[in-house]
Amino acid sequence: MGLQKAAQVVIGAQFGDEGKGRLIDYYAAQVGRDGLVIRFNGGAQAGHTVVTPEGVRHVFSHVGSGAFVGAATFLSRFFVSNPILFLKEIESLAGKGVEPSVSVDPQSPVTTPYDMMMNQIIERERDTGRHGSCGLGFGETIERNLRPDYAVTVADLVDQSALADKLEVIRREYVPARLARLGFADAFRRNTDLLLSNAILERFIEDAGRFLRLTTIADSRTATAGRSLLFEGAQGLLLDQDRGFFPHVTRSNTGLRNVLTLAQELELNQLEVTYVTRPYVTRHGAGPLPHELPEKPYPGIVDATNVPNDWQGALRFGWLDLDVLREAIAGDLAEAEQLPGLFLKPRLAVTCLDQISDDRVTYCTAKVLRQTSVGEFMMALTEAVNLSEREFNQDVTRAKKAAQAGPVFITDRGRPGHVLLSIDDSRRLAGAEASVVDLLAMPAEPEIEFDPPRLRGPLFRTDWR
C-alpha cells in the first residue's frame, strides 16, 4: 500500500447524542497539538459535550471536540458555518482559557439570520407535523444554497458590500418565495418587521467580519498539511438524509460519504472508523424511534446537554436494537467498497455504561427483548455488529477478518464509562485507567418476543417540504 496516510474517524451510529465529542477528545489527547479535527458534515446544530478531568465542560458546535487538548479545527466545505453562533462559542471557550485555531474552506455554506428565522417560522407553522429541528437554520441553509443566485459561502463574506447586496435580495425575494411555496405566505406578512429589520442585516455583516478575523480561509490540502487528522461526525447514521426515516432526517450525509471524498482528495489510504452508540437509544426531536419508552430506561441517566427546548421538545429514549445497529453500520461501510486502495479498520464504541443500573442491560436482538449483564451485552454486540478490518481495492474483494482482542473498558475518573470493541490496545483517555472486562458468559434472562420497526434504507423523494 506504500506510505501509510491514516486518519481517525468518529461517527454516531444512532440519532445523534451518542458521545462523539468524548471519543474525539480521547483520540486528540494522543496526538496533542499535532491534531486537526475536521468537521465533515452538519453545522452549528451539533452539540458535542466534553468534560475535562478537572471538570471544565463545553458543548462543541463549530470548534472540534479536541480543542481542550490543543487540536486545531478545519471546517470543510461539507460543514455549514454560522458566524453568529461561532462567535458565541469562541467567547464561551475564551472564558475557559481556550483559544482554538480554526481554518475554514472557502466553499463552506454560510447560515444567515434569515435561514434561522425561516427555520423557526416553518417549524412553528407545521405545528403537529414538525419534521424535527434544532431551529438553527441548518436545513434552510442547504435549501437556499441549492439556488446559485441566493447561495452564500465563506468566500462571499470577504466583500462586505457585495454581501449586503446579496442579503438584501435574500430577504426581499427568496424568503417570501420560500414561505409561499410551503404554503406559509401569511407567516411572512406576520413577521415582516423582523425579517426586514435593517439592524439584523447590519449586525450580521459585522459578525461575518469578526468570523473572518478569527479564522483562516484555506482549502483542505493546505489546512491538513502535516497534521494528524481526526474526522468528527455530527448527528448519527439514523438521521442520514439518504438512509434515515424521511422526512425526519438531517440535510447531510452523516456517515462515511463525505469522509471518503475528502480522503481521496488528501490521498489517505487508511481510515480507523469508530462508530459510537449508547447502550440505549436517544432521539431529540420529532420522528420515529424504534422501541420508544415513556421515560428514561435507567435512573442513572443524566444529560445536561439535551435539555427540553421549543424546537425539539424533551429527550426521548428507546431500547437499543442490535439488528438496526448492524444494518446502519453495514450500510455505511458499504460506501467504501468501490474505492481503490483504501484500508478500513472499523470499531464500535459504547458510551454511558456508567449509567447502567445494577450491571443489567436491556436490549433487542433478533426480535427478542433481552436483559443481561454488561459483559454478556458486550458479547452480543460484538457478535451482532461483527466488525472486521477491510481492505478495498481492485484486486481484493473480500474483507480480512480482524483479530478479536475483546472489549477494552475505558474508565472516566474511576467509573467504567466507555468501551471500545475490536481495539488492539488499551490506550488511556486523558490519563484515566483502562482495563479489560471479563467476558465470561452469564445465564440468559427470560426473553420477550416482539416485532420491532425496521430501518428501511434509502427512500426516494424530490421535495424537502
Positive or negative, the CA dihedral 303, 422, 255, 9 is positive
Q: Which entry of 25, 48, 207, 321 is annotated as an active-site residue?
A: 48
Q: Which entry of 17, 25, 115, 240 is annotated as an active-site residue?
A: 17
**Residue 250 labelled as part of a binding site:** yes
- Map grid coordinates 437556499 to a residue: 144
**Residue 49 labelled as part of a binding site:** yes
Return the SS3 of 322. Answer: helix
**Residue 16 labelled as part of a binding site:** yes
**Residue 88 labelled as part of a binding site:** no
**Residue 401 labelled as part of a binding site:** no
**Residue 137 labelled as part of a binding site:** no
Asked if 311 and 333 count as a contact pair (C-beta separation under 8 A), the reply is no
**Residue 20 labelled as part of a binding site:** yes
Q: Phi and psi of 155, rounded to 5°? A: -60, -30
Report the length, in residues, of the chain.
465
**Residue 354 labelled as part of a binding site:** no
Q: Which helix (H) or strand (E) holds 192?
A: helix 192-195
CA distance 102 to 176: 35
Does the annotation mark 131 as catalytic? no
**Residue 236 labelled as part of a binding site:** no
Nearest to 104 by CA among 44, 150, 48, 51: 44
Three-point CA angle 427, 407, 236, nearest 5°: 90
Nearest to 420 by CA among 372, 383, 378: 378
DSSP conformational letter for 423: -
Cell numbers standing for residue 249: 432526517
**Residue 48 labelled as part of a binding site:** yes
CA distance 377 to 354: 14
Q: Phi and psi of 223, rounded to 5°? A: -65, -30
Does the annotation mark 395 as catalytic? no
**Active site positions, annotated:** 17, 48
Annotated binding site: 16-22, 47-49, 235, 250
Residues in the annotated binding site for IMP:
17-20, 235, 250
Residues tagged in the binding site annotation for GTP: 16-22, 47-49
- Annotated binding-site residues for Mg(2+) read 17, 47
